[in-house]
Structure 1
Amino acid sequence: MQPSPSKTDQAGLKNSRVRQKNIQIILQAAEDEFVASGFKGASIRDIAHRAGLPKANVHYYFNSKVELYGAVLNHIMELWQSVFSGLNPDDDPATALRQFIRAKMKYVLAHSNASRIFSSEILHGGQHIKDHLQPFNDWIQEKSGVIRGWIEQGKMKPVDPIHLLFTIWATTQYYVDYGPQVASVLGKEELESEDVEAYTESICQMILGGCGINS
Protein backbone atom coordinates (compact mmCIF):
# COMPACT_ATOMS: atom_id res chain seq x y z
CA MET A 1 0.00 0.00 0.00
CA GLN A 2 1.38 3.38 -1.01
CA PRO A 3 1.95 5.80 1.91
CA SER A 4 -0.18 8.97 1.87
CA PRO A 5 1.63 12.13 0.78
CA SER A 6 2.85 14.24 3.68
CA LYS A 7 1.50 17.75 4.24
CA THR A 8 4.84 19.07 2.99
CA ASP A 9 4.55 17.04 -0.23
CA GLN A 10 0.95 18.19 -0.70
CA ALA A 11 1.94 21.82 -0.22
CA GLY A 12 4.80 21.43 -2.67
CA LEU A 13 2.49 19.88 -5.27
CA LYS A 14 -0.04 22.69 -4.81
CA ASN A 15 2.67 25.33 -5.16
CA SER A 16 3.94 23.64 -8.31
CA ARG A 17 0.46 23.69 -9.84
CA VAL A 18 -0.03 27.35 -8.93
CA ARG A 19 3.35 28.17 -10.45
CA GLN A 20 2.57 26.38 -13.71
CA LYS A 21 -0.86 28.00 -13.90
CA ASN A 22 0.56 31.48 -13.33
CA ILE A 23 3.32 30.96 -15.89
CA GLN A 24 0.78 29.86 -18.51
CA ILE A 25 -1.41 32.89 -17.76
CA ILE A 26 1.59 35.20 -18.04
CA LEU A 27 2.82 33.61 -21.29
CA GLN A 28 -0.63 33.95 -22.87
CA ALA A 29 -0.90 37.58 -21.76
CA ALA A 30 2.61 38.22 -23.06
CA GLU A 31 1.73 36.73 -26.46
CA ASP A 32 -1.30 39.03 -26.69
CA GLU A 33 0.73 42.09 -25.69
CA PHE A 34 3.67 41.35 -27.98
CA VAL A 35 1.25 40.93 -30.90
CA ALA A 36 -0.57 44.15 -30.07
CA SER A 37 2.45 46.34 -29.25
CA GLY A 38 5.52 44.56 -30.62
CA PHE A 39 8.58 43.83 -28.51
CA LYS A 40 9.63 47.47 -28.13
CA GLY A 41 6.14 48.72 -27.30
CA ALA A 42 5.26 45.98 -24.83
CA SER A 43 5.85 46.45 -21.11
CA ILE A 44 5.77 44.21 -18.06
CA ARG A 45 3.14 46.52 -16.58
CA ASP A 46 0.77 46.02 -19.54
CA ILE A 47 1.44 42.28 -19.61
CA ALA A 48 0.64 42.06 -15.89
CA HIS A 49 -2.59 44.01 -16.52
CA ARG A 50 -3.61 41.58 -19.27
CA ALA A 51 -2.80 38.64 -17.00
CA GLY A 52 -4.80 40.10 -14.11
CA LEU A 53 -1.75 39.81 -11.85
CA PRO A 54 0.34 42.35 -9.94
CA LYS A 55 3.46 43.48 -11.79
CA ALA A 56 5.56 42.03 -8.95
CA ASN A 57 4.11 38.57 -9.66
CA VAL A 58 5.30 38.71 -13.26
CA HIS A 59 8.77 39.79 -12.09
CA TYR A 60 8.73 36.88 -9.63
CA TYR A 61 8.73 34.44 -12.57
CA PHE A 62 10.56 36.55 -15.17
CA ASN A 63 13.33 39.00 -14.32
CA SER A 64 12.90 41.18 -17.40
CA LYS A 65 10.91 41.74 -20.58
CA VAL A 66 13.75 40.15 -22.57
CA GLU A 67 13.57 37.00 -20.43
CA LEU A 68 9.79 36.85 -20.78
CA TYR A 69 10.00 37.36 -24.55
CA GLY A 70 12.55 34.56 -24.72
CA ALA A 71 10.15 32.29 -22.82
CA VAL A 72 7.39 33.12 -25.31
CA LEU A 73 9.67 32.31 -28.25
CA ASN A 74 10.76 29.06 -26.60
CA HIS A 75 7.11 28.15 -26.03
CA ILE A 76 6.41 28.77 -29.73
CA MET A 77 9.23 26.43 -30.76
CA GLU A 78 8.01 23.77 -28.32
CA LEU A 79 4.54 23.99 -29.88
CA TRP A 80 6.10 23.52 -33.31
CA GLN A 81 7.98 20.41 -32.21
CA SER A 82 4.91 18.88 -30.57
CA VAL A 83 2.77 19.27 -33.69
CA PHE A 84 5.01 18.28 -36.60
CA SER A 85 6.25 14.74 -36.14
CA GLY A 86 5.24 13.50 -39.62
CA LEU A 87 7.27 13.05 -42.83
CA ASN A 88 8.96 9.73 -42.09
CA PRO A 89 10.98 7.55 -44.53
CA ASP A 90 8.35 4.83 -44.85
CA ASP A 91 5.47 7.29 -45.42
CA ASP A 92 3.73 7.66 -48.76
CA PRO A 93 4.84 11.14 -49.99
CA ALA A 94 1.38 12.14 -51.22
CA THR A 95 -0.28 11.27 -47.93
CA ALA A 96 2.53 12.60 -45.74
CA LEU A 97 2.87 15.97 -47.50
CA ARG A 98 -0.88 16.49 -47.62
CA GLN A 99 -1.16 15.71 -43.89
CA PHE A 100 1.78 18.00 -43.15
CA ILE A 101 0.27 20.92 -45.08
CA ARG A 102 -3.05 20.48 -43.30
CA ALA A 103 -1.34 20.18 -39.91
CA LYS A 104 0.67 23.34 -40.58
CA MET A 105 -2.45 25.27 -41.57
CA LYS A 106 -4.31 24.00 -38.51
CA TYR A 107 -1.37 24.98 -36.32
CA VAL A 108 -1.08 28.58 -37.55
CA LEU A 109 -4.84 29.09 -37.26
CA ALA A 110 -4.96 27.66 -33.72
CA HIS A 111 -1.88 29.63 -32.63
CA SER A 112 -2.25 32.82 -34.64
CA ASN A 113 -0.51 34.98 -32.02
CA ALA A 114 2.47 32.64 -31.94
CA SER A 115 2.62 32.71 -35.74
CA ARG A 116 2.57 36.51 -35.87
CA ILE A 117 5.18 36.88 -33.12
CA PHE A 118 7.51 34.47 -34.90
CA SER A 119 7.08 36.28 -38.23
CA SER A 120 7.56 39.70 -36.64
CA GLU A 121 10.71 38.54 -34.85
CA ILE A 122 12.21 37.22 -38.08
CA LEU A 123 11.28 40.40 -39.97
CA HIS A 124 13.04 42.47 -37.30
CA GLY A 125 16.28 40.56 -37.69
CA GLY A 126 15.68 37.57 -35.41
CA GLN A 127 17.97 38.92 -32.68
CA HIS A 128 16.01 37.33 -29.85
CA ILE A 129 15.16 34.00 -31.49
CA LYS A 130 18.66 32.91 -32.49
CA ASP A 131 19.12 30.87 -29.31
CA HIS A 132 15.79 29.09 -29.86
CA LEU A 133 16.14 28.04 -33.51
CA GLN A 134 18.35 24.96 -33.18
CA PRO A 135 15.47 22.47 -32.71
CA PHE A 136 13.82 23.94 -35.82
CA ASN A 137 17.08 23.72 -37.77
CA ASP A 138 17.52 20.10 -36.70
CA TRP A 139 13.95 19.33 -37.78
CA ILE A 140 14.51 20.90 -41.20
CA GLN A 141 17.67 18.85 -41.75
CA GLU A 142 15.99 15.61 -40.62
CA LYS A 143 12.92 16.05 -42.84
CA SER A 144 15.06 17.18 -45.78
CA GLY A 145 16.81 13.81 -45.51
CA VAL A 146 13.45 12.04 -45.66
CA ILE A 147 12.48 13.96 -48.81
CA ARG A 148 15.85 13.18 -50.44
CA GLY A 149 15.16 9.52 -49.75
CA TRP A 150 11.80 9.75 -51.52
CA ILE A 151 13.53 11.44 -54.48
CA GLU A 152 16.19 8.71 -54.66
CA GLN A 153 13.43 6.09 -54.67
CA GLY A 154 11.76 7.82 -57.61
CA LYS A 155 8.66 8.70 -55.61
CA MET A 156 8.83 12.41 -56.51
CA LYS A 157 10.68 14.91 -58.67
CA PRO A 158 14.19 16.06 -57.66
CA VAL A 159 13.13 19.28 -55.92
CA ASP A 160 15.24 21.01 -53.28
CA PRO A 161 13.91 19.65 -49.94
CA ILE A 162 14.72 22.74 -47.88
CA HIS A 163 13.07 25.09 -50.36
CA LEU A 164 10.06 22.77 -50.51
CA LEU A 165 9.63 22.91 -46.73
CA PHE A 166 10.02 26.68 -46.67
CA THR A 167 7.47 27.02 -49.49
CA ILE A 168 4.96 25.05 -47.42
CA TRP A 169 5.83 27.14 -44.37
CA ALA A 170 5.43 30.43 -46.26
CA THR A 171 2.16 29.66 -48.03
CA THR A 172 0.41 28.45 -44.89
CA GLN A 173 1.89 31.23 -42.73
CA TYR A 174 0.69 33.94 -45.12
CA TYR A 175 -2.93 32.95 -44.72
CA VAL A 176 -2.83 33.85 -41.01
CA ASP A 177 -0.31 36.69 -40.93
CA TYR A 178 -2.02 38.50 -43.82
CA GLY A 179 -5.53 37.13 -43.35
CA PRO A 180 -7.24 40.54 -43.59
CA GLN A 181 -5.70 41.10 -47.03
CA VAL A 182 -6.88 37.68 -48.23
CA ALA A 183 -10.38 38.38 -46.88
CA SER A 184 -10.45 41.77 -48.62
CA VAL A 185 -9.51 40.23 -51.97
CA LEU A 186 -12.29 37.67 -51.49
CA GLY A 187 -14.73 40.50 -50.70
CA LYS A 188 -15.35 39.37 -47.12
CA GLU A 189 -15.09 40.93 -43.67
CA GLU A 190 -13.27 37.85 -42.41
CA LEU A 191 -12.31 34.41 -43.61
CA GLU A 192 -14.66 31.49 -43.12
CA SER A 193 -13.98 27.78 -42.65
CA GLU A 194 -14.76 27.00 -46.29
CA ASP A 195 -12.18 29.58 -47.37
CA VAL A 196 -9.56 27.87 -45.24
CA GLU A 197 -10.46 24.48 -46.68
CA ALA A 198 -10.34 25.75 -50.27
CA TYR A 199 -7.00 27.49 -49.71
CA THR A 200 -5.51 24.44 -48.00
CA GLU A 201 -6.62 22.12 -50.79
CA SER A 202 -5.15 24.52 -53.39
CA ILE A 203 -1.80 24.45 -51.62
CA CYS A 204 -1.89 20.64 -51.50
CA GLN A 205 -2.60 20.39 -55.22
CA MET A 206 0.12 22.91 -56.17
CA ILE A 207 2.77 21.38 -53.92
CA LEU A 208 2.05 17.79 -54.88
CA GLY A 209 1.78 18.70 -58.56
CA GLY A 210 5.06 20.59 -58.46
CA CYS A 211 6.70 17.57 -56.87
CA GLY A 212 5.34 15.25 -59.54
CA ILE A 213 3.20 13.36 -57.05
CA ASN A 214 -0.20 12.03 -57.98
CA SER A 215 -2.62 13.13 -55.29
Structure 2
Amino acid sequence: MRPLIGVTTYREPARWSVWDQGAALVPESYVEAVERAGATAVLLPPQADAGRLVGVLDGLLLAGGADLDPARYGADPHPRTGAPQGARDTWEFDLLAAALGAGVPVLGVCRGMQLLNVALGGDLVQHLPDGSHQDPPARFVKTEVRTVGGSRIAAILGEDTQVNCYHHQAVARLGDGLRATARSADGVVEAVETDGPGFVVGVQWHPETDLSDLRLFEALVSAGKKG
Protein backbone atom coordinates (compact mmCIF):
# COMPACT_ATOMS: atom_id res chain seq x y z
CA MET A 1 0.00 0.00 0.00
CA ARG A 2 1.12 3.56 -0.69
CA PRO A 3 2.16 5.49 2.43
CA LEU A 4 -0.32 8.03 3.78
CA ILE A 5 1.10 11.55 4.08
CA GLY A 6 -1.03 14.05 5.98
CA VAL A 7 -0.99 17.57 4.48
CA THR A 8 -2.24 20.45 6.59
CA THR A 9 -4.78 22.79 5.02
CA TYR A 10 -6.15 26.29 5.55
CA ARG A 11 -9.67 27.37 6.45
CA GLU A 12 -10.23 30.36 4.18
CA PRO A 13 -13.04 32.18 2.33
CA ALA A 14 -13.12 30.82 -1.23
CA ARG A 15 -15.12 31.19 -4.44
CA TRP A 16 -15.88 28.54 -7.04
CA SER A 17 -18.75 28.01 -9.47
CA VAL A 18 -21.75 29.72 -7.86
CA TRP A 19 -20.38 29.38 -4.32
CA ASP A 20 -18.71 31.92 -2.04
CA GLN A 21 -18.11 30.40 1.37
CA GLY A 22 -15.54 29.08 3.81
CA ALA A 23 -13.39 26.19 2.59
CA ALA A 24 -10.60 23.90 3.75
CA LEU A 25 -7.97 24.21 1.04
CA VAL A 26 -4.32 23.85 0.11
CA PRO A 27 -2.55 24.48 -3.21
CA GLU A 28 -2.90 21.33 -5.29
CA SER A 29 0.84 21.30 -5.99
CA TYR A 30 1.35 19.88 -2.48
CA VAL A 31 -0.99 17.00 -3.29
CA GLU A 32 0.60 16.41 -6.67
CA ALA A 33 4.10 16.43 -5.20
CA VAL A 34 3.13 13.82 -2.59
CA GLU A 35 1.43 11.66 -5.21
CA ARG A 36 4.34 11.86 -7.63
CA ALA A 37 6.68 10.92 -4.78
CA GLY A 38 4.80 7.65 -4.36
CA ALA A 39 2.35 8.33 -1.52
CA THR A 40 -1.30 9.22 -0.97
CA ALA A 41 -2.05 12.72 0.33
CA VAL A 42 -4.55 13.00 3.19
CA LEU A 43 -5.79 16.58 3.64
CA LEU A 44 -5.98 17.73 7.26
CA PRO A 45 -8.15 20.79 7.97
CA PRO A 46 -8.21 22.20 11.52
CA GLN A 47 -10.39 19.97 13.69
CA ALA A 48 -10.07 17.80 16.78
CA ASP A 49 -8.25 14.60 17.75
CA ALA A 50 -4.81 15.22 16.26
CA GLY A 51 -3.31 12.25 18.09
CA ARG A 52 -5.74 9.75 16.59
CA LEU A 53 -5.17 11.09 13.07
CA VAL A 54 -1.40 11.01 13.35
CA GLY A 55 -1.66 7.39 14.46
CA VAL A 56 -2.75 6.34 10.96
CA LEU A 57 -0.28 8.51 9.03
CA ASP A 58 3.13 7.53 7.66
CA GLY A 59 4.31 11.13 7.43
CA LEU A 60 3.21 14.71 8.11
CA LEU A 61 3.65 17.65 5.75
CA LEU A 62 3.13 21.05 7.39
CA ALA A 63 2.16 23.36 4.53
CA GLY A 64 2.97 27.03 4.14
CA GLY A 65 0.56 29.86 4.83
CA ALA A 66 -0.22 32.64 7.28
CA ASP A 67 2.12 34.01 9.94
CA LEU A 68 2.14 32.35 13.34
CA ASP A 69 0.72 34.28 16.27
CA PRO A 70 3.76 35.98 17.88
CA ALA A 71 2.24 35.28 21.30
CA ARG A 72 3.28 31.68 20.68
CA TYR A 73 6.90 32.74 21.13
CA GLY A 74 6.33 35.54 23.65
CA ALA A 75 6.55 38.49 21.26
CA ASP A 76 4.37 41.45 20.40
CA PRO A 77 3.24 41.58 16.77
CA HIS A 78 5.30 43.55 14.28
CA PRO A 79 3.22 46.00 12.18
CA ARG A 80 3.81 43.76 9.13
CA THR A 81 2.88 40.50 10.84
CA GLY A 82 -0.38 39.04 9.56
CA ALA A 83 -3.52 38.60 11.66
CA PRO A 84 -3.36 35.46 13.80
CA GLN A 85 -5.20 32.32 12.77
CA GLY A 86 -5.66 30.73 16.16
CA ALA A 87 -7.55 27.62 15.09
CA ARG A 88 -4.94 26.68 12.53
CA ASP A 89 -2.07 27.40 14.91
CA THR A 90 -3.56 25.23 17.64
CA TRP A 91 -4.35 22.40 15.24
CA GLU A 92 -0.89 22.31 13.70
CA PHE A 93 0.95 22.57 17.02
CA ASP A 94 -1.15 19.63 18.25
CA LEU A 95 -0.48 17.64 15.06
CA LEU A 96 3.23 18.30 15.27
CA ALA A 97 3.42 17.34 18.95
CA ALA A 98 1.62 14.10 18.21
CA ALA A 99 3.87 13.34 15.23
CA LEU A 100 7.06 14.02 17.16
CA GLY A 101 5.82 11.92 20.05
CA ALA A 102 5.00 9.00 17.76
CA GLY A 103 8.16 9.24 15.66
CA VAL A 104 6.21 10.08 12.50
CA PRO A 105 8.42 11.72 9.81
CA VAL A 106 7.80 15.47 9.43
CA LEU A 107 8.50 17.93 6.63
CA GLY A 108 7.72 21.59 7.35
CA VAL A 109 7.43 24.01 4.42
CA CYS A 110 7.81 27.78 5.00
CA ARG A 111 5.27 28.43 7.78
CA GLY A 112 5.68 24.74 8.62
CA MET A 113 9.40 25.21 9.30
CA GLN A 114 8.68 28.26 11.45
CA LEU A 115 6.05 26.31 13.37
CA LEU A 116 8.54 23.50 13.99
CA ASN A 117 11.06 25.99 15.34
CA VAL A 118 8.55 27.72 17.63
CA ALA A 119 7.10 24.42 18.86
CA LEU A 120 10.58 23.44 20.03
CA GLY A 121 11.12 26.71 21.90
CA GLY A 122 12.61 28.97 19.23
CA ASP A 123 11.43 32.32 17.95
CA LEU A 124 11.19 34.26 14.70
CA VAL A 125 12.31 37.40 12.93
CA GLN A 126 8.91 38.91 12.17
CA HIS A 127 9.88 40.92 9.10
CA LEU A 128 12.84 40.68 6.74
CA PRO A 129 13.92 43.57 4.48
CA ASP A 130 11.31 44.23 1.82
CA GLY A 131 11.88 42.28 -1.37
CA SER A 132 14.69 40.12 0.02
CA HIS A 133 12.81 36.82 0.19
CA GLN A 134 9.43 37.56 -1.37
CA ASP A 135 8.05 39.77 -4.10
CA PRO A 136 4.48 40.61 -3.13
CA PRO A 137 1.80 40.02 -3.91
CA ALA A 138 2.56 36.65 -5.49
CA ARG A 139 6.04 36.33 -6.99
CA PHE A 140 8.63 33.91 -5.69
CA VAL A 141 12.23 35.06 -5.26
CA LYS A 142 14.85 32.73 -6.74
CA THR A 143 17.34 32.14 -3.94
CA GLU A 144 20.62 30.26 -3.79
CA VAL A 145 21.02 28.28 -0.58
CA ARG A 146 24.08 26.46 0.73
CA THR A 147 23.64 23.38 2.86
CA VAL A 148 25.76 22.19 5.78
CA GLY A 149 27.96 19.22 4.97
CA GLY A 150 26.94 15.98 6.66
CA SER A 151 23.35 17.13 7.21
CA ARG A 152 20.26 15.30 6.05
CA ILE A 153 19.30 18.19 3.77
CA ALA A 154 22.77 18.12 2.15
CA ALA A 155 22.41 14.39 1.52
CA ILE A 156 19.09 15.08 -0.23
CA LEU A 157 19.93 18.23 -2.20
CA GLY A 158 23.71 18.50 -2.37
CA GLU A 159 25.93 21.43 -1.41
CA ASP A 160 24.14 24.24 -3.26
CA THR A 161 20.67 24.54 -4.71
CA GLN A 162 18.38 27.22 -6.14
CA VAL A 163 14.96 27.45 -4.56
CA ASN A 164 11.71 29.45 -4.73
CA CYS A 165 11.24 31.63 -1.66
CA TYR A 166 8.18 33.55 -0.54
CA HIS A 167 8.56 34.51 3.11
CA HIS A 168 8.90 37.74 5.05
CA GLN A 169 9.69 36.04 8.35
CA ALA A 170 12.53 33.74 9.36
CA VAL A 171 13.98 31.65 12.15
CA ALA A 172 15.82 33.68 14.80
CA ARG A 173 16.66 31.65 17.94
CA LEU A 174 16.70 27.97 17.10
CA GLY A 175 14.38 25.61 18.94
CA ASP A 176 15.73 22.91 21.25
CA GLY A 177 17.29 20.03 19.34
CA LEU A 178 17.24 21.84 15.99
CA ARG A 179 20.20 22.89 13.92
CA ALA A 180 20.37 25.19 10.91
CA THR A 181 21.39 23.12 7.90
CA ALA A 182 21.02 25.59 5.02
CA ARG A 183 21.31 29.35 4.67
CA SER A 184 20.94 31.92 1.91
CA ALA A 185 23.73 34.34 1.04
CA ASP A 186 22.37 36.96 3.45
CA GLY A 187 22.56 34.50 6.36
CA VAL A 188 18.86 33.72 6.65
CA VAL A 189 18.22 30.17 7.88
CA GLU A 190 16.63 28.27 5.00
CA ALA A 191 16.54 24.74 6.46
CA VAL A 192 16.52 23.12 9.88
CA GLU A 193 16.53 19.54 11.08
CA THR A 194 16.84 17.48 14.23
CA ASP A 195 19.81 15.27 14.99
CA GLY A 196 19.34 11.54 15.22
CA PRO A 197 17.75 8.93 12.99
CA GLY A 198 14.23 10.37 12.77
CA PHE A 199 13.18 12.46 9.76
CA VAL A 200 12.25 15.94 11.06
CA VAL A 201 13.15 18.59 8.46
CA GLY A 202 11.98 22.12 7.77
CA VAL A 203 12.66 24.23 4.69
CA GLN A 204 11.89 27.91 4.40
CA TRP A 205 11.33 27.77 0.65
CA HIS A 206 8.50 26.24 -1.39
CA PRO A 207 9.59 22.94 -2.97
CA GLU A 208 6.01 22.22 -4.07
CA THR A 209 6.33 24.95 -6.70
CA ASP A 210 8.89 22.94 -8.69
CA LEU A 211 7.45 19.54 -9.51
CA SER A 212 10.51 18.69 -11.58
CA ASP A 213 12.42 18.24 -8.33
CA LEU A 214 10.68 15.87 -5.91
CA ARG A 215 13.70 14.98 -3.78
CA LEU A 216 12.37 16.41 -0.51
CA PHE A 217 8.99 14.76 -0.94
CA GLU A 218 10.61 11.47 -1.93
CA ALA A 219 12.77 11.64 1.20
CA LEU A 220 9.66 12.17 3.37
CA VAL A 221 7.83 9.28 1.69
CA SER A 222 10.88 7.03 1.99
CA ALA A 223 11.14 7.83 5.71
CA GLY A 224 7.44 7.02 6.08
CA LYS A 225 7.92 3.64 4.41
CA LYS A 226 10.73 2.78 6.82
CA GLY A 227 8.55 3.70 9.77
| TM surpasses 0.5 | no
Larger Rg: 1
For normalisation by structure 1, the TM-score amounts to 0.29
Greater helix share, structure number: 1
Question: What's the TM-score once normalised by structure 2's chain length?
Answer: 0.28
